[in-house]
Structure 1
């Protein structure tokens, strides 16, 4: 018989000392000042309760004042300065030799290390402007009660500035405005306030976006946050692999946020493909969870997020030598289920059906191309598949209830997809006897006509890098090339997204090559030749 357990008679005394950061993390604090060992070890900002003279009991313990939370609603934050500079004591660090180029690929590859990819910017940093977030971390009210401005213990005022920029600018630039509800706000932000990992990734995305907008190639804050995000993400992935964490939600969303961080900063090293690979494996497990564990709206957005990013990234893969497909059958079926409800999203607009045809065209084109780049004769099955894909593209039409801008963007994608299909028939040729030359010329003319009807400053342009790259790779007319050049420059100035500038850079290289070496199936070759590895997400 088990021994009788003695009932506890003395009260449970909970320690109320220690820094606020350790309290929030529910970790034991050694109470070393000014920074405890736990915060130093985890590279966190160590903040302490403020002692109020005359307050507290006879024990002499300091009393913590509840922080005063600033109003960070989008409507309020939008009025704050995007370009407020950070204090000189803001933590920053350069990547050391032990920093991974991708936290996921490193964790999955026996922790092999690589250096941090530098962020490529070219213009001076902005002038300092004062905002509400430039206030010190605490101030006295009537010389009586000092109050802390920190809503997030462990995060400095620098984090408020980045959160402000995300809410006011970055989230709007990431979404294309197809719907009035922005999931980068209503889905990502609430999640970020429940996860240290996701909050750090959101701040990193904001820092990268702000740095590119400012053309600041020495932005230490952006570098520091990017380094910290990789370290934290690597640790979380390692714990997930070791079975210490069973919920893949934060990691999946985190991997996708990292994809768009690369989009924002204009990475040219292909780091986004590492994040996509991680998201692929995590997403399958996430989608198996019930709607009670993961709300349906969030699942739908994650499916759209991955489908869009994976589909437009496939053009960066050389179909002649790679069997890789970023969108597997199960994930494709999940996306097709959304189509049954006439889904319109802030990444895929109303053209998700067209995006799901990209892997089909990629697979068909790969079968027609030999490893040495020479075309092979298509079989009867290939011809039948070609006809089916062409029919599906031509039959597609934007939903009647979408806005005119979304309608135009859908038509632009449609013409770009036709070009992608037509140029898969053989090596790209625009000669008089070239196969489907007339159809290709018509698709180019239609695409440029739709683009000319759409303002380059409309939010919908944030999702048009893929069709612009496809159409641009087929252009031979100097006037049409200049039209695209001006559009992309305007887009870069308006949205400040690095992938837009990299798209123009890649097209400039392609326009210098002979026409028979151009076309969408040679985009990956141009990337290899010029060492520009990008996604068009």
Structure 2
């Protein structure tokens, strides 16, 4: 039965309401993050982004083909022929439906729409921020389409255990970088930064050394565009993702943050409770900066950060996924601070306590929560410092569970890195009785790369 307007006539379907109301054919008040109708009826509000879907290249006529003929046709045998067998349409507009996107790329963009965007978001809200801000840019930005196709091909190669998809991924990576270089002076800074963000995320999740410093590119775009460009929801979201990556990359390289966006990044729309987590990213960057400072400055900076962590410990909520994630970061930040400041780690009682508390907070967040995307750094930091067998098993199980949900190669590398650090640190304690091993420096030495902390 249709909901009726005050005039008694049914509401018409709109193209600007949330996906749930549009599917139901009802009027949407477009409140965010969840519309009023969905809240009132207890429905799952699916947000306001583009909805991508499949359609056979033959259209409806394919369904009329003789069943015997369909059974007699051979199935595609390679990744390339599989992706060429289908193409993308969109429920948004006829123009998007006839946008001329090649079948292979359409297949990859559909994987982004249905799977990937949900795996990489940090937002514990009904509205996926990647769909809200990045997906609408896809139709008019070839560099962004190629960057997203690069990520999707990498992920599908893992899901399908099909290495041939990596060749497709490499081609889309090349296309993304080359087309970005051509359009960066004329394209909207928001779209260019979105492309760089996708390339950065893909590099951290799927590759180990692309040879490109995407954060340096992001810095140039941010500074050249000026602050007014970023004073919008999409700008705030993109800067927040950059802030997160800037912090964890500074840890993996033991270098100061490249962007140094710090705590001045605007709050993400609809995620005011994430402010504490963004403060933690800024704090992590400050600790990383201490690695290159002289002793007197390290002591003064360390004291300031220690006071800030104690203040956060007092006032930050311990409830919900966000609260537990913030406190996990806080406990890991204590471990990181004391390692950089005093070169103190396990078996120091304080470090062991922080490691145990960090793992406890992490494990209270369901592995399906979007916030688990932000957990690799605190998990690595706490796991590497614990010497308790049960806590180590807990850390192993947690990483495995995260991989089973997301199937991201970075998590497999994280698991191996943790195991390697345990071997090195256990050997050091056995021979000397103390632990002077910096876990990140250990991986840099044996792997010749930074730890995968995203």
Aligned Cα root-mean-square deviation (Å): 3.8
Partner Cα distance (1:166, 1:302) in 2: 17
The counterpart of 2:181, out of the listed 217, 223, 237, is: 237
2:239 is the counterpart of 1:303? yes
Q: CA deviation at 1:427?
A: 3.3
Matches within 5 A, 1:10-29: none
Q: CA deviation at 1:250?
A: 2.6
- 8 Å Cα contact 2:120-2:373 kept in structure 1: yes
Q: Secondary structure at the match of 1:513?
A: helix
- Quick one: structure 1 residues 446 and 512, their matched pair in 2 at CA, closer, same or farther if it must change by over 3 Å? same
Matches within 5 A, 1:313-328: 313-318=249-254, 324-328=256-260
The counterpart of 2:213, out of the listed 274, 280, 305, is: 274
Q: CA deviation at 1:236?
A: 3.0
Q: CA deviation at 1:481?
A: 1.3
Matches within 5 A, 1:477-488: 477-488=388-399
Q: Secondary structure at the match of 1:212?
A: helix
Q: CA deviation at 1:392?
A: 0.4
Give the structure 1 partner of residue 196 of structure 2: 255
- 8 Å Cα contact 2:118-2:128 kept in structure 1: yes
- 8 Å Cα contact 1:90-1:158 kept in structure 2: no
Give the structure 1 partner of residue 349 of structure 2: 438
Q: Secondary structure at the match of 2:342?
A: coil
The counterpart of 2:328, out of the listed 394, 412, 416, is: 412
Q: CA deviation at 1:465?
A: 0.5
Give the structure 1 partner of residue 312 of structure 2: 396
2:439 is the counterpart of 1:522? yes
Give the structure 2 partner of residue 31 of structure 1: none
Q: How many residues align?
A: 380
For structure 1, the residue ranges without an aligned partner over 5 or more in a row are 1-71, 93-127, 139-147, 369-377, 432-436
Partner Cα distance (1:512, 1:461) in 2: 26
2:364 is the counterpart of 1:460? no
The counterpart of 2:361, out of the listed 450, 466, 478, is: 450
- Quick one: structure 1 residues 287 and 400, their matched pair in 2 at CA, closer, same or farther if it must change by over 3 Å? same
Bigger helix share: 2
Partner Cα distance (1:270, 1:520) in 2: 28
Give the structure 2 partner of residue 183 of structure 1: 129
Which structure is richer in relative contact order (CA contacts within 8 A, separation 6 or more)? 1
2:171 is the counterpart of 1:227? yes
The counterpart of 2:421, out of the listed 485, 510, 513, is: 510
Partner Cα distance (2:313, 2:270) in 1: 12
- Quick one: structure 1 residues 315 and 270, their matched pair in 2 at CA, closer, same or farther if it must change by over 3 Å? farther
Q: CA deviation at 1:398?
A: 9.4
Partner Cα distance (1:165, 1:407) in 2: 31
Q: Secondary structure at the match of 1:511?
A: helix
Q: CA deviation at 1:442?
A: 1.8
Give the structure 2 partner of residue 285 of structure 1: 224
Q: Secondary structure at the match of 1:326?
A: coil
- Quick one: structure 1 residues 483 and 349, their matched pair in 2 at CA, closer, same or farther if it must change by over 3 Å? farther
- 8 Å Cα contact 2:153-2:169 kept in structure 1: yes
- Quick one: structure 1 residues 228 and 390, their matched pair in 2 at CA, closer, same or farther if it must change by over 3 Å? same
Give the structure 2 partner of residue 358 of structure 1: 284
Q: CA deviation at 1:174?
A: 0.5
Per-residue Cα deviation, 1:315-352 (whole angstroms, up to 9, x for no partner): 11145xxxx53233xx33xx42526999548xx67410
Partner Cα distance (1:304, 1:513) in 2: 35
The counterpart of 1:338, out of the listed 266, 269, 274, is: 266
- 8 Å Cα contact 1:201-1:258 kept in structure 2: yes
Q: CA deviation at 1:461?
A: 1.1
Partner Cα distance (1:255, 1:262) in 2: 10
TM-score computed with the length of structure 1 as normaliser: 0.62
Q: Secondary structure at the match of 1:181?
A: coil
- 8 Å Cα contact 1:268-1:534 kept in structure 2: no
Q: Secondary structure at the match of 1:177?
A: coil
Per-residue Cα deviation, 1:245-276 (whole angstroms, up to 9, x for no partner): 364333222111101112342x12264x6112
Q: CA deviation at 1:487?
A: 0.7
Partner Cα distance (2:437, 2:249) in 1: 12
The counterpart of 1:169, out of the listed 112, 115, 122, is: 115
Partner Cα distance (1:340, 1:166) in 2: 22
- Quick one: structure 1 residues 192 and 367, their matched pair in 2 at CA, closer, same or farther if it must change by over 3 Å? same
- Quick one: structure 1 residues 428 and 302, their matched pair in 2 at CA, closer, same or farther if it must change by over 3 Å? same
- Quick one: structure 1 residues 167 and 390, their matched pair in 2 at CA, closer, same or farther if it must change by over 3 Å? same
Partner Cα distance (1:188, 1:181) in 2: 13
Per-residue Cα deviation, 1:158-216 (whole angstroms, up to 9, x for no partner): 22322221111100001133233211101001111121111121122122122223333
